[in-house]
Amino acid sequence: MRLLISNDDGVFAEGIQCLANTLAIAGHQVTVVCPDRERSATGHGLTLHDPIRAEPVTGIFNDAIKVWACSGTPADCVKLALGALVEHKPDFVLAGINHGPNLGTDVLCSGTVSAAMEGLLEKIPSMALSLADFTNRNFETGAAFARNFLDHYGKTHGTPEARPPMLLNVNIPAIPADQIAGVTMARLTFRQYFDSFDQRTDPRGRHYYWLAGEALTEVDLDAGQAIADQYPTDVTAVGKNYISVTPLHFNLTAHRELNAWHGEFKDFKLS
């Protein structure tokens, strides 16, 4: 397959090097276009008021891989790759492997997920991969999952033209491969954080703030009882040593509220 790979941790991140090298060795045609520095938590931000620069990179990936380091966001990287850098439309877009989880509502600010979402917006099957730990560096399990998934996907979904566009958000427990309990489809949850702003003072005496905080708990989103009974939340799945796979879409419409508010503005007047 022709693969486009990006991330939000930057071109020097171990996760993207492990993923890209593994897939190139497996025989895929791999192109990497990723930020030239860490751009985590940038969401789906785009660079509109500054030029975007992209420079070829050599020496840190497998020699068969074409690599570009881009000055923009993760979404910029995929958009630029598809619009200017790659000669042929890729068969699949991958983002990651992110160093840290992208579980539940993390997907709303994740640059990794947004890079993959940009692929979906261009009707290209896409996947975001994250290692669910900030200190563990065992990216090989996630890379092996991607390699085996693409092999399975290529055999079961026909030609690239016949493959339906989709985005899978994948979180891999930070444990040895032989301790992985399996792979399960999962649904998003709401990750509740305790946010704090650490006030500091710069050398000129001016205050600045550093966002800190930690995830406290998950709040189960109301998915309907049938869905809740059939699929665990992604946080629960990873906590039980499963690789969690969650299909995502860019349609954020709250359909239940759409119906509930159907007649709310029927007689609404501005004056």
Residue with tokens 């509502």, as numbered in its chain: 105
Per the CB < 8 A criterion, the answer to whether 7 and 115 are in contact is yes
Percent pLDDT > 90 in the chain is 73
Task: Let me know if residue 271 belongs to a domain.
Answer: no
Which strand (E) or helix (H) includes residue 151? helix 140-156
How many domains, in total, are found in the chain? 2
Question: Alpha-carbon distance 41 to 213, whole Å?
Answer: 14
Q: Give, as one character, the DSSP assignment of residue 187.
A: B
Question: Alpha-carbon distance 246 to 234, whole Å?
Answer: 7
Question: Alpha-carbon distance 243 to 218, whole Å?
Answer: 18
pTM over cut 0.75: yes
- What pLDDT score does 196 carry? 72
Q: Are residues 154 and 250 in the same domain?
A: yes
Q: Are residues 204 and 237 in the same domain?
A: no
Q: Are residues 96 and 129 in the same domain?
A: yes
The crossing angle, in degrees rounded to 10, of helices 140-156 and 14-25 is 40
Residue 213 has pLDDT above 80, yes or no: no
Considering only the C-alpha atoms of the chain, give the largest distance between any 2 of them, rounded to a whole number of Å.
68
- Which amino acid makes up residue 37? R
Encode pLDDT of 136-182 as tens digits.
Answer: 999 999 999 999 999 999 888 766 666 678 999 999 999 999 999 99
Q: Are residues 15 and 143 in the same domain?
A: yes
Task: Let me know if residue 264 belongs to a domain.
Answer: no
Residues 6+ apart with CB under 8 A from 168: 126, 127, 128, 245, 246, 247, 248
Q: Are residues 194 and 178 in the same domain?
A: no
Q: How far is CA 185 from CA 76, 190, 204, 231, 268, in A?
A: 29, 17, 52, 6, 43
Q: Are residues 81 and 163 in the same domain?
A: yes
Confidence tier at 216 by pLDDT (50, 70, 90): low
Q: Are residues 39 and 143 in the same domain?
A: yes
Q: Kindly state the average pLDDT of the residues 200-212.
A: 87
Confidence tier at 192 by pLDDT (50, 70, 90): low
Residue with tokens 């939340």, as numbered in its chain: 233
Q: How far is CA 193 from CA 43, 87, 172, in A?
A: 17, 43, 21
Q: Are residues 38 and 57 in the same domain?
A: yes
Encode pLDDT of 63-79 as tens digits.
Answer: 999 999 999 999 999 99
Q: Are residues 245 and 209 in the same domain?
A: no
Q: Are residues 92 and 209 in the same domain?
A: no
Q: Are residues 127 and 199 in the same domain?
A: no
Burial of 195 (0-12, 13-18, 19+ CB in 10 A): exposed
CATH no. for residue 47? Answer: 3.40.1210.10
67: containing domain: 2-185+233-256
Task: Let me know if residue 261 belongs to a domain.
Answer: no
Confidence tier at 210 by pLDDT (50, 70, 90): confident
Encode pLDDT of 82-92 as tens digits.
Answer: 999 999 999 99
Question: Alpha-carbon distance 205 to 222, whole Å?
Answer: 48
Task: Let me know if residue 266 belongs to a domain.
Answer: no
Q: Are residues 27 and 81 in the same domain?
A: yes
- Which amino acid makes up residue 88? H
